[in-house]
Each structure stands twice: as C-alpha cells, then as structure tokens.
Amino acid sequence: MSVAFPQRRLPYLLLLPQLVITFVFFLWPAEQAIEQAFYQEDAFGLSREFVGLENFYALWDNPQYFTSIQVTMVFSFSVALLGMGLALWFAVMADRVIRGKLAYQTLLIWPYAVTPALAGVLWWILFDPSMGPVALWLKTIGVDWNHFLNGDQAMILVVISATWKQISYNFLFFLAGLQAIPRSLIEAAAIDGAGPFKRFWTIVFPLLSPTSFFLLVVNLVYAFFDTFGVIDATTQGGPGVSTATMVYKVFNDGFIGLDLGGSAAQSVVLMLLVGAMTVVQFKYIERKVQY
C-alpha cells in the first residue's frame, strides 16, 4: 500500500494487544521450554542444575523416543494417505454427478466440525471388544479384535478415528481442484477417444498434483499436532507405547512423568519440526502464486 496514515503512535497502540498476547503466551513459554531443555529439575521443582545438552543426549539414547518417532510416522502417513485416497475417490464421484451435488457435499463435510477427541470416542465404542458392533462382526469373520491388548489394532483404530474427521477437508479441496480443471481439456481428450479412466490418469490426476501436495503437508501437520485428542481420549498411548506419538509423549513425560527437562527437550525438537514444515508450506504457497 503506497498510501499510509501519518500517525506515529497509533500503529503501536493497535499492535499492542496482539504483541502482548504473543509475548506472554507464546514467546515466553517457548523461551522457557528452550531454557528448561538445558536443565535437570527434581520432581518437586525445588532445585535445578545446568546440564548442557544432557537432556538431548538422553533423548538420543532413549529407545522409547525412537519408538515414538516411528509411531508418529506410521500414524501420520497412514492418516494422510488413507484420508486423501478416500476423499479423492468421493470428490471425483461428486464431480461427475449432476443431481444432488450440494446434498452430497453437505452430508460428506459435516464431520469436519467434530473434534478428534470426540471422533475417537465414537469409533472407540464401535470397536469395543465386548460390545461394539464392528468388533463383534469382525469376530464372526475370524478376526479377534481387542485394541486393549493388540498394539497394531489400537493403531488402526486411532488412524480410522483421525482419518474419519479429515475426509471432509480433503474432499472440499479436491472438489475445488477438480472444478478448476478446464472442461475443454477433458472434452478434447474425450473426442480423441480417451475413456473416463484414461482421462483420469493422464489428465485429471497430474493436474491435481499441486492440490495433492498441499493436502499432504496439511494432513501431516494435522496428524502430528491436532490429533492429540484422539489418542488421549482413547488409547492414552497404549497398549504399552504402541500409539504414543511425539506430541503425546511431550505431554505425558511433562505432566504425568514430571520429567520437565526431557519433556522440554522434546518440545524443542518438535518446534524445529513445525518450523521446517511451516517453511515447506510457505515455499510451496509462494510457488502456487506464481502460476
């Protein structure tokens, strides 16, 4: 904007509330986390001692931390790929139909409003080993479902819960992406004799790749940081540590294990990770603006 108001003090006044909140609730805690990561504190918070990089070394030597990284990766990529796959399928179908399009859209997108914790509870009861309809049905076809004992099944359950809620989001963006593809391109291919499947794989799918990449990043960020509720309300990281993601471990080690230094070191690792992902997201968006 080339034209600006001449006042000199007003802009600071306008920025003040946002900056105060940012300093008190974001920068100060973040600074504390970084500082804490270099100290070892006793469980009562009475004394602490500077230990340098000790907490990070401890993290590096802790096989449980690597398990949590592995759990996070399996969980996040499963959620992202499953959610995007289903959403793409529904979006392609919805893009084809003429009658009832808006009704279909409405009935598919409402789960966006359901928070992951509640989604977890809803699926939890469906799969409850002693009374859940899905678990009992699985028993009739020979699958012995018990997510209280079986870590892989617990993982499948949290993946389903977290994905269920995210389908709506992916669906909306894929549908918008599909509608942005010029009709003339598809018509030309049809005239040249390409059937619907060929058209999808050779024209539609490649043209959706910017949308897909964007959604992949968003879904990974979602699975990393916003799905705490699913895990906390249902498995609480169990059985054992088979569903304890990195974010869940920060909370668990800090609030329940009272290992403040270790938890803070994990916070720092996560902050670096979010930072990197944010940069990727912005780099990508800059590129999108150019075309």
Partner 1 sequence: MIENRPWLTLVSHLSLLFGIALVALPVWVALVASTHPTEAFGSGQIPLWFGDQLSENWGQVLFSSAGNGIDVPVWLMMLNSLIMALGITIGKIAISIISAYAIVFFRFPLRGLAFWVIFITLMLPVEVRIVPTYEVVANLELLNSYSGLVLPLIASATATFLFRQCFMTVPGELVEAARIDGAGPIRFFFDILLPLSRTNIAALFVIMFIYGWNQYLWPLIVTTDDAYYTLVMSIKRMLSVEQGDVQWNQVMVTTLLAMLPPVAVVVGMQKLFVKGLVDAEK
Cβ–Cβ under 8 Å, residues 267 and 37:
yes
Q: At how many degrees (to 10) do helices 28-36 and 260-290 cross?
A: 130
Shortest distance (Å) from residue 252 CB to partner 1? 11
Between residues 88 and 155, which has the closer beta carbon with respect to partner 1?
88
Distance of alpha carbon 23 from alpha carbon 71, whole angstroms: 33
Shortest distance (Å) from residue 124 CB to partner 1? 8
Shortest distance (Å) from residue 197 CB to partner 1? 10
Between residues 2 and 290, which has the closer beta carbon with respect to partner 1?
2
* Closest listed residue to residue 172, CA positions, set 124, 105, 118, 85: 105
* Closest listed residue to residue 87, CA positions, set 105, 67, 62, 114: 105
Shortest distance (Å) from residue 151 CB to partner 1? 18
* Residue 152: C-alpha distances to residues 4, 138, 155 (Å): 59, 15, 5
Q: What angle do CA 164, 196, 205 make, to 5 degrees?
A: 55
Between residues 155 and 264, which has the closer beta carbon with respect to partner 1?
264
Q: What angle do CA 234, 237, 239 make, to 5 degrees?
A: 90
Shortest distance (Å) from residue 283 CB to partner 1? 14
Q: Which two tokens stand for residue 201?
A: 């794989």
Between residues 43 and 131, which has the closer beta carbon with respect to partner 1?
131
Shortest distance (Å) from residue 100 CB to partner 1? 8
Between residues 19 and 53, which has the closer beta carbon with respect to partner 1?
19
Distance of alpha carbon 21 from alpha carbon 15, whole angstroms: 10
Between residues 53 and 176, which has the closer beta carbon with respect to partner 1?
176
